[in-house]
Amino acid sequence: MHRFLAVLVISGACLLPSTALAQKVEVDYAHGTDFSKYKTYKWVETENSQVSQLSQQRIVAAIDAELAKKGFSKAEDNPSLFVRYQAAVKQQTQLNTYTSSMGGPGWGYGPGWGYGWGANMGSSMSTTTSSTIPVGELVVDLYDPAQKQLVFRGVSTDTLSTKAEKNTKKINKAVEKMFKKYPPKA
């Protein structure tokens, strides 16, 4: 019976396509920085030609919302931080393997038991297909203009959807995860 369950579980796992890349968020910061002194920010332009203007607007709105939650306000004159982001889309190859078997557990000739209940001497066939999936990367930088140094960086990667609503949710979730770790704990 244990062998039957093991074969069943392994067969079921082989039938599932490989999972897509899950959203990954990492942050880094300048250690020893007093983050309590930062209260205002100003956007600094960067070249973001790989994403549409609509995506750019969604990214800026998500970052503005998270900075507001952290108590920041925009300031054109003498901001304590400069904020910029970069976004890119890369193509990644995904392999999907499917296995189908003929035979399997049941009545017949089984190894070590003779005739009776066991694993049939069947055959299996595996098929692997490849597909290209778009993967987006978003980098958000907080830069101290007085010290002229980067003080906080968040990086997120995730697969992209063909639906704008899903990508908007992914952008919001990524930025929220980045700023959940702001200010960094010493």
Higher pLDDT, 51 or 18: 51
Fold adopted by 20-94+128-180: Double Stranded RNA Binding Domain (3.30.160)
pLDDT at 129: 84
- Rounded to whole angstroms, how far apart are CA atoms 24 and 173? 11
14-50: pLDDT as tens digits:
333 334 458 999 999 999 999 999 999 999 988 766 7
The 10s digit of each residue's pLDDT in 123-170 is: 678 888 888 888 999 999 999 999 999 999 999 999 999 999 999 999
Q: What is the pTM of this model?
A: 0.71
User: Which residues, at least 6 apart from 155, have a Cβ–Cβ distance to it below 8 Å?
Assistant: 25, 26, 27, 28, 137, 138, 139, 140
Which DSSP letter does residue 35 get? G
Q: For residue 88, which phi and psi values (nearest 5 degrees)?
A: -145, 155
What does the angle CA 20 – CA 23 – CA 24 come to, to the nearest 5 degrees?
120
* Cα–Cα distance measured from residue 118 to residue 75, given in angstroms and rounded to the nearest whole number: 74
Q: Report domain extents, the chain.
A: 20-94+128-180
